[in-house]
Amino acid sequence: MRRLNNDKLCPVLNAKIMAQSIEEVPVIIQLKEINKNLIRNVTNLSSKVKADLPLIGGIAGDMSTDIIYRLSTNPEVEYISFDSNVYALLDVASPTMEAYFPHEQGYDGEGITVAVIDTGVAPHDDLIKPSNRIIDFMDFVNNKEKPYDDNGHGTHVAGIIAGNGYSSRGKYVGIAPKSNILAIKALDENGGGSTSDIIAALSYCIEMKDKYNIKIINLSLGTPANHSPDKDPLVKAVEKCVEAGIIVVTAAGNSGPSAKTILSPGISKEVITVGAVDDKRTIDPSDDTIAPFSSRGPTPDGTQKPDLVAPGVNINSISHSKLDSYTSLSGTSMATPLVSGSLALLLNKHGNLSPKEFKNMLIKACVPLKEDKYSQGHGMLNLRLLFNDSNTDKNLPVKNNLLGLSDDSFETIIMLLVVLFLLDSRI
């Protein structure tokens, strides 16, 4: 029986080799250093080279298990992983609500670009009229040039972030209705794709960062966390984006309610990982719970995740279908763009902070629910708290209001107004 170098092979490949399986499988090979001769040799050993992945110092391609086993003994090879399927994170759907408290303060996401790596984005009127805010489209699946979405998931996500309500005369408006969308199709018509395509899309975001003013990447997708974060190729890629100054917001996953179900790349400490809340369609937040499908922590290395939660049940947004302008969906996929859109607004207010500083601001603006920390993280994001100037320092006093009321009374009135607004926005 073969003696395996377990530290260099992911569990999937270990299992195949231990079973003496002789087959070709898609893999991602990470090298310790970029070595042209080694890259050439590895390329020659692959029956099909899919992509060069310089972002993580890797190569993606198909290889036989025999060759994979031999490569695992090469000291210049850092890690070999199965090029696993990544999928859109979707659950059951029905009618919804939306909340946009910061708009009254003049924040609308104008000038901020959010990259949506998903199933594509359809040119819905809420994104292209009166002016086109899909500023670019890149297709890693079918290599088409014009924006489209043959699944609908990515369009729904983009609408939660940036829909301006054009088709509904302002009734259904996204969180940051003047922000721009960089639409990247890396998932197919079934909502599935490969890790290597997601990494290529992340590389494209870094490449286009300055050209399109990309500040946020929305990843409403994930794959099972079969690797430790320091070896996970998707984690390495998103952390390169954070190093480049881009905020990465990713879904926790829809594998709950069991513990230790956070998906990659949500296991990364550097990204903002979002779980989903079920508000039970009531005004009183005291009965809000984490949605049963929302993935729970901790991560494989014991990190508390998700970082926070947002509404993720029955969220209404634009549709890719020509028959219906709007539709409602549920999942951590829907909670994630609510946070991405909120960050676009926050970037209007604080444009020069680091991804870590923005993440800390979000955490400070969370309201804890009656749930454990591995279900909710720091709690549910509250936009009123996020855009309260005292959020940057909770020891600062709340400013006096024009009505001369006590701070508590004034905040109560504001909350009632917000509740009335939300009720009016429901389907």
What are the structural domain ranges in the chain? Answer: 6-83, 100-386, 397-425
Between CA 412 and CA 364 the distance in angstroms is 20
Q: What is the model's pLDDT at position 30? A: 92
- Paired with 182 in beta bridges are 115, 136
What is the number of other CB atoms lying within 10 angstroms of the CB of residue 44? 8
pLDDT at residue 105 in the model: 83
CA pseudo-torsion sign 197, 201, 206, 211: positive
Token pair listed for 125: 């009127």
Q: How confident is the model at residue 284 (pLDDT cuts 50, 70, 90)?
A: low
Helix (H, G, I), strand (E, B) or coil at 370: coil
Question: What CA–CA distance (Å, rounded) separates 125 from 163?
Answer: 9
Task: State which of 33-37, 182-186, 351-355 shows the largest mean pLDDT.
Answer: 182-186
**DSSP states along 179-216:** -EEEEEE-S-TTSEEEHHHHHHHHHHHHHHHHHHTEEE
Complete edge-to-edge strand list for the sheet that includes strand 192-194: 192-194, 85-88, 221-222
Name the catalytic one among 333, 340, 342, 375: 333
pLDDT in tens, 167-191: 988 888 899 999 999 999 999 999 9
* Residue 285 pLDDT class (50, 70, 90 cuts): low
Residue 118: active-site member: yes
Does residue 153 have an active-site annotation? yes
Per-residue confidence (pLDDT) for residue 139, from 0 to 100: 98
Pick the range with the lowest mean pLDDT from 256-265, 278-287, 397-406: 397-406
Query: What number is the average pLDDT over the span 318-344?
Result: 91
Can the peptide bond before residue 368 be classed as cis, meaning omega within 30 degrees of 0?
A: no
The pLDDT value recorded for residue 399 is 31
Residue 258 has pLDDT above 50, yes or no: yes
Each residue of 362-413: pLDDT tens digit?
999 998 998 899 999 999 998 888 887 655 444 333 333 333 333 444 444 4
Residue bearing tokens 């905020």: 247
The three state secondary structure string of 163-187 is CCCHHHCCCCCCCCCCCEEEEEECC
Top pLDDT among 11 and 263 is at 263
**pLDDT attached to residue 422:** 42
Residues 206-240 as b or e (16 or more Cβ within 10 Å = b): bebbeeeebbbbbbbbbbbbbbebebbbbbbbbbb
Give the CB-side neighbour count of residue 229, counting CA atoms within 13 A: 17
Q: Choosing from 118, 126, 232, 307, which is the catalytic residue?
A: 118
Is the backbone peptide bond immediately before 257 cis, with ω within 30 degrees of 0?
yes
As its CATH architecture, domain 6-83 has 2-Layer Sandwich (3.30)
Q: How big is the chain by its Cα radius of gyration, in Å?
A: 22
Query: Does 75 sit behind a cis peptide bond, omega within 30 degrees of 0 on the bond before it?
Result: no
Rounded mean pLDDT, 33-45 = 78
Q: Which CATH superfamily is domain 100-386 in?
A: Peptidase S8/S53 domain (3.40.50.200)
Considering only 50-64, 171-185, 278-292, which range has the smallest mean pLDDT?
278-292
- 6-83 and 100-386 share one CATH topology? no
Nearest to 158 by CA among 110, 115, 209: 115
pLDDT at site 106: 87
More confident residue, 202 or 38: 202
pLDDT confidence of 414, banded at 50, 70, 90? very low
If you average pLDDT over residues 4-13, what whole number do you get?
77
Rounded Cα distance, 361 and 375, in Å? 20
Contact 12, 80 (CB under 8 A): no
